[in-house]
Amino acid sequence: MATVTFPSTPDCEIVSSRVVNFSQELVFKAWTDPNHLKNWWGPKGFTNTFEEFDLRPGGRWKFVMHAPDKGNFQNECEFVKIEKPSEIAWIRISKPLFNIVATFEKIADDQTKIVFRMVFDTPEECAKLRPYVVDKNEENFDRLENELSKMTL
């Protein structure tokens, strides 16, 4: 299948990537199994309550992110592509609005490159979040790696 593409220019997207020392299949499972995803999704200190997780094109992902200090953030997304074990894509229905494509490239049996691409409609929308999102995506990857370590025990 072809990769999902959201038309964009560099000033409308934020791309984060990391190579992790875990198999492509395990990485994909951490992103697509709600029992694991809820443990690591979001920046450091955040927790999640999943209300719906229907992993299929057209399926919804509804959840609340709970901030460590205060605040609950309602999120709603619609999956547009699931290609095991290499890609998932979704559109956000709740604000801020942007589209996501996450790819998982097998480098070796125990090494995977993750590319997390956030695509915004306008450069202005992207610029508003860029100062926060880059560091927060790294925190998210840190939490993912911690969850992956637990999954291998």
Phi, psi of 25 (to 5 degrees): -65, -40
pLDDT above 90: residue 1 = no
Alpha-carbon distance of 30 to 27, in angstroms, equals 5
Mean pLDDT of the chain: 93
User: How many angstroms separate the Cα of 48 from the Cα of each of 36, 41, 67, 74, 139?
Assistant: 11, 7, 9, 10, 15
pLDDT of 12 over the 60 cut? yes
What's the full length of the chain, in residues? 153
Q: Taking 60 as the threshold, does the pLDDT of residue 4 lie above it?
A: no
What pLDDT is stored for residue 2 in this prediction? 46
Span 34-66, pLDDT tens digits: 999 999 999 999 999 999 999 999 999 999 999
Q: Are 113 and 105 in contact (CB under 8 A)?
A: yes
- pTM of this prediction? 0.92
Predicted confidence band at 119 (pLDDT cuts at 50, 70, 90)? Answer: very high
What's the rounded mean pLDDT across residues 27-38? 97
Residues 6+ apart with CB under 8 A from 128: 96
Report the 10 Å Cβ neighbour count for 107.
12
Cα(79)–Cα(127) distance, rounded to whole angstroms? 25
Res 153: pLDDT: 83
Q: What does the pLDDT look like over 62-100, one tens digit per residue?
A: 999 999 988 999 999 999 999 999 999 999 999 999 999
Q: What is the pLDDT of residue 32?
A: 98
Sign of the C-alpha dihedral computed for residues 96, 122, 78 and 93 taken in this order: positive
pLDDT of 3 higher than 90: no
